[in-house]
């Protein structure tokens, strides 16, 4: 019971706490002074069942917060079944966030600053910090992890001032925010005006544009996103993070390449060996698209990554054609190009920039199990360890590729190893604190990157895809110019 002395208030009063509302009862002291008494306030779990005759559990469990992928255009917290991870002593939180233009449309000013989906993630982490102890989770041991756009989101959160102090470790799988598909791109206001024109709203001033868009049906707005693709899904992800400039509520005050983490945390990150099947498989299995790519590669490759907005795009394009396609457009080389340009090189470059700030652990996932996302292509021409393949060994099932029946014993060995590595990291900041599986060293080198290959066995190696990564290191890959917002009312 809690009692509060008051002179003016004798009626019942409702007080809201972080755990909910409690109602006070008006009372009088011996000398007639009015006060409010609050009875039966819960402050811990009820001591019933297995908690009878026991003190409050002394040890809270580490928390893992999952941020789903989906290219910032789709996805759901309910896509993934947590059976594998919850064989370990953790509390798992999965969260939704706004995607597509509803999550990222921006006019480049205060009327629609953007980054709503990323700010949703911050709000979720604040909720975890304030409430997770009630679920047995430790608010001082929170690991954020995600894949693809979720991995890039994790990387953004590592750099954003709004997320400072909300987590303590981070895992980015197949996605970093400095990748060409995830980093900010110019043309914020142009894209907003195009959407407005398509749905019959004024295109200026931006205040009127935004007010009108708020009245338009969700499905009508979302349908406009397809108009931004020139070929296939290229250029990718028209609505993504926006640079907001400095401000109290700014998620991204600068380009991520220019930001430094407010509090550097241990980072586990990596890729699959054939990430590029995510893009190449639909092309390889469609003869019309494959012929279009071969006949017009000088235009289509740059917008597919994309790098067509870079200052030396033509030079980069020529070098890419010489390096990957001098002997023709084989299926393997197309997949290799998309693997390197979209996922693997950006990941290794991000690690190089971060490794001196906090421990970084890098992995390459190369295990080909009984089930694979390449099965969805329905073609013998597509077979490998594709984008998101590692998720099949962290989550017991997912809604877009349901695993029928039991997993083979070897697949379950990989499940056991991966979930232990991931949860070890969540508990300690080190995936192999006892070296019982393997000694996974942190990254110290740029050119001889140390990494763990998760294949038929766990192997520590140095020098990831050296020739291919050295090629990308040699290219003039600066960030896209003039992608900063105006930060003023338009």
DSSP string covering 7-34, please? SS--S--EEEETTEEEE-EEEE-TTS-E
Region of poorest pLDDT, from 54-58, 93-97, 200-204, 213-217: 54-58
pLDDT computed for residue 485 by the predictor: 37
The pLDDT of 432-452, averaged and rounded, is: 95
153 is catalytic: no
Q: Single out the catalytic residue among 387, 389, 396, 450.
A: 387
Rounded CA-CA distance 340/345 in Å is 5
Rounded CA-CA distance 193/300 in Å is 25
pLDDT computed for residue 9 by the predictor: 47
Helix (H) or strand (E) holding 397: strand 397-398
Sorting pLDDT into bands at 50, 70 and 90, what band is 44?
Answer: low
pLDDT computed for residue 401 by the predictor: 76
> What residues pair up with 95 in beta bridges, in sequence order?
67
Spell out the SS3 assignment of 180-205.
CCCCCCCCHHHHHHHHHHHCCCCCCC
Region of poorest pLDDT, from 26-30, 67-71, 225-229: 26-30
Q: Single out the catalytic residue among 225, 274, 275, 450.
A: 275
pLDDT computed for residue 347 by the predictor: 98
Antiparallel, parallel or unpaired: β 91-95 and 34-38: unpaired
148 is catalytic: yes
Closest CA to 184 of 473, 485, 475: 485
CB 344 within 8 A of CB 466: no
Sorting pLDDT into bands at 50, 70 and 90, what band is 11?
Answer: very low
For the chain, give the mean pLDDT.
Answer: 89
CB 479 within 8 A of CB 183: yes
Rounded CA-CA distance 25/11 in Å is 7
> What residues pair up with 2 in beta bridges, in sequence order?
38
- The DSSP symbol for 342 reads I
Asked if the model's pLDDT at residue 114 lies above 50, the reply is yes
pLDDT computed for residue 36 by the predictor: 59
pLDDT computed for residue 52 by the predictor: 53
Helix-then-strand count for the chain, H and E? 14, 15
Sorting pLDDT into bands at 50, 70 and 90, what band is 308?
Answer: confident
Q: Domains of the chain: which residue ranges? A: 2-43, 61-290+329-473
pLDDT computed for residue 31 by the predictor: 46
Tell me the torsion sign for CA atoms 139, 245, 104, 176. negative
The more confident residue out of 137 and 26 is: 137
CATH topology of domain 61-290+329-473: Rossmann fold (3.40.50)
Residue 397, both tokens? 């099932």
Kindly report, residue by residue over 166-219, the tens digit of the pLDDT.
Answer: 999 999 999 999 999 999 999 999 999 999 999 999 999 999 999 999 999 999
275 is catalytic: yes
Rounded CA-CA distance 325/335 in Å is 11
Kindly report, residue by residue over 206-259, the tens digit of the pLDDT.
Answer: 999 999 999 999 999 999 999 999 999 999 999 999 999 999 999 999 999 999
CB 167 within 8 A of CB 125: yes
pLDDT computed for residue 302 by the predictor: 93
The pLDDT of 472-490, averaged and rounded, is: 59
Asked if the model's pLDDT at residue 43 lies above 60, the reply is no
CB 432 within 8 A of CB 440: yes
Confirm whether pTM is higher than 0.85: yes
Closest CA to 455 of 417, 398, 408: 417
104, 105, 109, 111 alpha-carbon torsion, rounded to 10°: -110
């Amino acid at each position: 019971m809690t009692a509060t002395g008051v002179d003016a208030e004798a009626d019942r009063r409702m007080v809201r706490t972080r755990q909910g509302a409690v109602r006070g009862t008006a009372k009088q002291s011996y000398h007639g002074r009015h006060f409010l008494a609050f009875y039966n306030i819960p402050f811990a779990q009820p001591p019933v069942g297995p908690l009878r005759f026991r003190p409050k559990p002394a040890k809270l469990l580490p928390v893992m917060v999952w941020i789903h992928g989906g290219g910032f255009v789709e996805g759901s917290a309910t896509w993934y079944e947590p059976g594998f991870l919850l064989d370990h002593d953790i509390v798992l939180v999965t969260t939704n966030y706004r995607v597509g233009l509803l999550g990222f449309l921006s006019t480049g000013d205060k009327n629609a600053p953007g980054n709503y989906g990323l700010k949703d993630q911050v709000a979720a982490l604040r909720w975890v910090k304030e409430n997770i102890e009630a679920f047995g989770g430790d608010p001082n041991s929170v690991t954020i992890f995600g894949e693809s756009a979720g991995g890039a989101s994790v990387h953004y959160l590592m750099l954003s001032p709004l997320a400072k102090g909300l987590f303590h470790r981070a895992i980015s799988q197949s996605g970093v925010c400095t990748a060409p598909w995830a980093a900010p791109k110019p043309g914020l206001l142009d894209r907003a005006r195009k959407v407005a024109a398509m749905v019959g709203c004024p295109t200026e001033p931006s205040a009127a544009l935004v007010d009108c868009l708020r009245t338009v049906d969700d499905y009508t707005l979302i349908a406009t996103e397809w108009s931004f693709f020139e070929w296939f899904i290229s250029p990718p992800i028209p609505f993504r993070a926006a640079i907001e400039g400095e401000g109290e509520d700014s998620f991204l005050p600068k380009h991520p390449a220019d930001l430094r983490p407010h509090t550097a945390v241990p980072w586990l990150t990596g890729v699959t060996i054939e990430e590029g099947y995510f893009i190449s498989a639909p092309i390889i299995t469609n003869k019309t698209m494959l012929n279009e790519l071969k006949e017009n590669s000088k235009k289509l490759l740059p917008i597919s990554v994309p790098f067509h907005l870079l200052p030396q795009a033509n030079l980069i394009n020529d070098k890419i054609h010489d390096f990957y396609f001098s002997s023709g457009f084989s299926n393997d080389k197309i997949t290799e190009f998309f693997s390197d340009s979209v996922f693997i090189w950006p990941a290794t470059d991000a690690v190089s920039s971060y490794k001196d700030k906090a421990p970084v652990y890098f992995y390459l996932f190369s295990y080909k199990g009984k089930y694979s996302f390449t099965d969805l292509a329905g073609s013998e021409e597509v077979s490998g360890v594709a984008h998101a393949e590692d998720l099949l060994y962290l989550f017991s099932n997912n809604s877009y590729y349901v695993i029928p029946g039991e997993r083979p014993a070897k697949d379950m060995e990989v499940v056991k190893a991966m979930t232990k590595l991931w949860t070890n990291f969540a508990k300690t900041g080190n995936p192999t604190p006892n070296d019982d599986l393997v000694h996974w060293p942190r990254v110290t080198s740029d050119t001889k990157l140390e990494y763990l290959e998760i294949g038929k066995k766990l192997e520590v190696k140095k020098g990831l895809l050296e020739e291919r990564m050295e090629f990308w290191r040699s290219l003039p890959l600066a960030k896209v110019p003039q992608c900063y917002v105006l930060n003023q009312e338009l």
